[in-house]
Structure 1
Amino acid sequence: MSAKIGQPILTSGQRVQQQPPRQRPQHLCIRPLTVYDLDQVEALEASGFDDAERASREKLKYRLIACPELSSGLFVREFEDIGAEAVEKNAPSANKKTKKDKDDSDDEEDDGEFILPPPRSTVKKETLIGHVIGTKMYDQKITERSMGIPKLTDDYLPDSSVPGNDKIGHIEASRVIGIHSVVIHQNYRGLKLGSLLVKDYLQKMNQQCVADRVVLIAKSKLVPFYKNIEFVDDGISDCKFADSEWHDLHCVLTHEEDEDDM
């Protein structure tokens, strides 16, 4: 008797126990990143890139302070276990019926007692499993200076006295967003969370009209992924970041409004 590699040899009466299909985790949340997420962002960056390709903590901190609205994080949220009694206890007394109220409403239809949730967030933990990190940039394509950090003042602003400093790092007046990092934690890959995160990012940048163009560099194996989400391959990049060959890609933001917008 023989069997294909990876398949068990079965005797009479035995059946293969199928592994349950992988599913997206519950309670996913996409929100802008802040500098308070720095530790998780740095850890995720370290897990997703080689030493030569990952952004330093200093660069990540700069980007999350200079333009947090241009970075998105994909989180799995965990909530406190709030039982019915705890919910009722936290509900304002105005929403609770007294015995007299109930007696007076005997002739009325009873739709059930409305109880408000606790007057605070019940989120107890957010675990970062994916992120997109971006800045606005002086150049039309990713360059070494677009990925850099300008000389900063004590107020964490670009020092205007330094020549060429106005072309390095985040340029607020620019209409071009450069994406410097897209990563999904290895435990959650294969669930199409990367495309979910990037599509959400592009939609938000488009709706907010903060830029007209989004650019990035990617290795050849990832070009099809980006082409499937509306990026155009502009060929081999002049940027030799980490001594590697990259492709320039861009996506035009159209700012088209939905017909059903209010």
Structure 2
Amino acid sequence: MAGHSKWSNIKRKKGVNDAKKSKIFTKLVKEITVAARSGGAEPEFNPRLRLAIQNAKGANMPKDAILRAISKANGSDVAAYHEVTYEGYGTHGVAIMVVCMTDKIIRTVANVRAIFTKYGGSLEKNGAITFLFDYKGVFTIPTADIKDQEDLALELIDAGAEALENDEGATHVICAIEDFGRLQKHLEKLAIMPTAAGLEYIPHTLVQVSDAALPKLIKLIDALRDDDDVQKVYHNIDVQPEQEALWE
């Protein structure tokens, strides 16, 4: 159950600079605030907030910033955010899923469409490319924190895991959506703290892209990720080992 598979095709680039980290923190604050406002400010009784805090800690967000985001949820000036997902194609038939959290859908869809168009892609109707992805629960654990991967794999499979995949010092535990909560509680019971956890679009149909075509697709994906309303971006590029350096 453990080993490398398609995970490297959707991972984020390494070497996040301060500007990028600030943008990541902004997205995490938005998720924490929305989670606290919708389900209450007590993580013990609010699974979504508990998950948002866990992801913030995994990104090394300062504790005081997390607490400010939670307290902000009680403010009257907090915008009413909606989570929306957009689907599109980049060049060479690459499928891209864009998960957004926005207080103004008209602005967000216009921005996302403009980014796709700028880099030769197109925004599609909902449902146009979802069949190319599986929607799964994913927990990311530092491989160094796992004493015996084989024993852990067997135990987590009993708790609902479908697979464990290794990638660059991290182990990704994948499960069906309906088993996410049960697996989360089991990891807590084992005192294992994931650096990230959530529901992810994992491609099962991949597209190989030439070295010449890849840079434009990378610019498209980066531009989408840089948009303030975009929370996550997923794609189905079959990144070859020799192309990894292009993503740096």
Q: TM-score range by the shorter chain?
A: under 0.3
Which structure ranks higher in relative contact order (CA pairs < 8 Å, sequence separation ≥ 6)?
2
TM-score computed with the length of structure 1 as normaliser? 0.21
Structure of higher CA gyration radius? 1
